[in-house]
Chain A
Amino acid sequence: MGSLTEVTNTGDGFMATTIDAVVNWGRKNSLWPMPLGLSCCAIEMMSMVGPRFDLARFGAEAMRFSPRQCDLMIVAGTLTWKMAQAARTIYDQMPEPKWVIAMGVCASSGGMYRNYSVVQGVDLLFPVDMYVPGCPPRPEAVIDAVLKLQKRIERERAWSTGRQRPMPANPRGPILARS
């Protein structure tokens, strides 16, 4: 990682925390979302980046549809098993550091659809940083989720000890009858 981390062993020194602060400030204020718009929540996501509820006020202006250029994936809608491989590929193609917001109940937990075709929560496929309840969540509720994610990014150890991402223990995750 460079000589700066070798100087401070624990990563709590002045240099490391200052670099953490600057790097996190830059990362949180320029989250470029990758909209994985799958169904109805995509409409609310579109209205969120529209002029009335403006997501660009918080830096998340550049909605690129190529995962190679994004750092925040907003899974908006119902993920089916047929689409699951594509969603996982898109997640893998995003370069680190990356964050995921599961927007709506279908993405967070399968929602209303407890059946064989809907993935019961996208955290069965990749780690999720923010769950937003609602069907669909109001655009302001998703903006609230982005703001809370920004607060979490502020507290990360970006440079000093590497980002700690909680991966699900079992990639298939627990599937409960009543989650």
Chain B
Amino acid sequence: MAIQTRSLSWMERVYLSLLKGLGITFRTMFRKHIVRKYPEEPIPRSPITRGQPRLAQNEDGTTRCVSCGLCEFVCPAYAITITGGETERFIEREPKEFQIDMLRCILCGFCEEVCPKEAIFMSDELEFAGPTRAEHVLDKQALLRPISKLRQRIEFSNSIYNRWRRTALPADPAKNPAGPAAEPPVAIGVPHTDPTVRNAPSQDSNKNLPTRREP
């Protein structure tokens, strides 16, 4: 079998074909960069971004959490620790201690999904390196965030979780001291407009549930 050889051009013999490679280098050097210059350019966020979980705080400073313990129960990493306590408000319960170990939290969002009071949301906070383990265990004071800061995430999570909520929660529980029972329930289940979901539910999602057949 003959080995195919190719005779070199004069440029290659004089090693000037180096310029061809250098041309590619210089062309790439002056092309537009795709580097995101991080500390100067902040991390791009969207409502879908799941950052660290934070407790929602109403405008009057009260927490929405009633320390039901659902988030603690559903957390796959057992990162949440709650101690319930009493309060004089209508809700009667609020957490005495609420602790999330951020070095256990996997940012799954289950706590946000299961919360019946819209009290915990995945904020957009993502950058928290630290030299000790203890500083990452956040207590209730460190976790509270006013709902004005969580607005985008609240709207997004409502748009996806309202599919299986029968009634809407009152916008601000503190504004209705008589309690949620005093307000007429608003039926929801409006299909969200997420184009990536096939077979979005119809207007009344309860209508299409299968009924029990008589034996």
* Residues of A participating in the B interface, judged by any CB pair closer than 8 Å: 51-54, 57, 101, 105, 108-112, 114, 121, 123, 129-135, 137-138, 140-145, 147-149, 152, 178-179
B76:A112 contact, CB within 8 angstroms: yes
Please give, as numbers and ranges, the residues of chain A lying within 8 Å of B37 by CB-CB distance.
57
B104:A130 contact, CB within 8 angstroms: no
Residue of A nearest to B132 (CB): A131
Q: Which chain B residues (22-56) contact chain A, with CB distance < 8 Å?
A: 34-39, 43, 52
Residue of A nearest to B77 (CB): A112
Please give, as numbers and ranges, the residues of chain B lying within 8 Å of A133 by CB-CB distance.
52, 102-103, 105, 128-129, 136
How many angstroms between the C-alpha atoms of A169 and B90 in the bound complex? 48
Q: Top 3 closest A-B pairs, CB basis?
A: A145-B129, A135-B106, A109-B103
Give which listed residue, A105, A131, A138, A147, contacts B43 with CB less than 8 A: A138
Within the complex, the shortest CB–CB distance from B101 to chain A, in Å, comes to 6
Within the complex, the shortest CB–CB distance from B158 to chain A, in Å, comes to 25
Within the complex, the shortest CB–CB distance from A51 to chain B, in Å, comes to 6
Would you call B131 an interface residue if the criterion is a C-beta within 8 Å of the partner chain's C-beta atoms? yes
Within the complex, the shortest CB–CB distance from B52 to chain A, in Å, comes to 7
A54:B105 contact, CB within 8 angstroms: no
Please give, as numbers and ranges, the residues of chain B lying within 8 Å of A51 by CB-CB distance.
34-35
Please give, as numbers and ranges, the residues of chain B lying within 8 Å of A121 by CB-CB distance.
103, 133
Please give, as numbers and ranges, the residues of chain B lying within 8 Å of A142 by CB-CB distance.
129
Please give, as numbers and ranges, the residues of chain A lying within 8 Å of B106 by CB-CB distance.
105, 111-112, 135
Please give, as numbers and ranges, the residues of chain A lying within 8 Å of B156 by CB-CB distance.
none
A54 and B104 in contact, given A138-B126, A141-B126, A178-B78 (Cβ under 8 angstroms)? no
Within the complex, the shortest CB–CB distance from B81 to chain A, in Å, comes to 6
Would you call B107 an interface residue if the criterion is a C-beta within 8 Å of the partner chain's C-beta atoms? yes
* Residues of B participating in the A interface, judged by any CB pair closer than 8 Å: 34-39, 43, 52, 76-78, 81, 101-108, 126-133, 136-137
Give which listed residue, B35, B101, B127, contacts A179 with CB less than 8 A: B101
How many angstroms between the C-alpha atoms of A111 and B77 in the bound complex? 7
A178:B101 contact, CB within 8 angstroms: yes
Residue of A nearest to B106 (CB): A135
Interface of B is mostly: loop
Residue of B nearest to A121 (CB): B133
How many angstroms between the C-alpha atoms of A144 and B23 in the bound complex? 36
Q: Quick one: which of B77, B102, B127, B132 has the most chain A CB within 10 A? A: B127
Please give, as numbers and ranges, the residues of chain B lying within 8 Å of A148 by CB-CB distance.
129-131
Please give, as numbers and ranges, the residues of chain A lying within 8 Å of B132 by CB-CB distance.
131
Residue of A nearest to B130 (CB): A131
12 extra interface residue pairs, beta carbon distance < 8 Å, beyond A105-B106, A179-B103: A53-B38, A54-B35, A105-B103, A109-B103, A121-B133, A135-B108, A142-B129, A143-B39, A144-B39, A178-B101, A179-B101, A179-B104
B131:A111 contact, CB within 8 angstroms: no
A179:B77 contact, CB within 8 angstroms: no
Within the complex, the shortest CB–CB distance from A63 to chain B, in Å, comes to 17
How many angstroms between the C-alpha atoms of A64 and B17 in the bound complex? 32
Q: List 14 A-B contacts (CB under 8 A).
A: A53-B35, A53-B36, A105-B106, A121-B133, A131-B129, A132-B129, A135-B106, A135-B108, A141-B129, A142-B129, A143-B38, A148-B130, A178-B81, A179-B133
How many angstroms between the C-alpha atoms of A131 and B128 in the bound complex? 9
Within the complex, the shortest CB–CB distance from A52 to chain B, in Å, comes to 6
How many angstroms between the C-alpha atoms of A164 and B105 in the bound complex? 31
How many angstroms between the C-alpha atoms of A143 and B105 in the bound complex? 20
A130 and B105 in contact, given A112-B77, A138-B43 (Cβ under 8 angstroms)? no
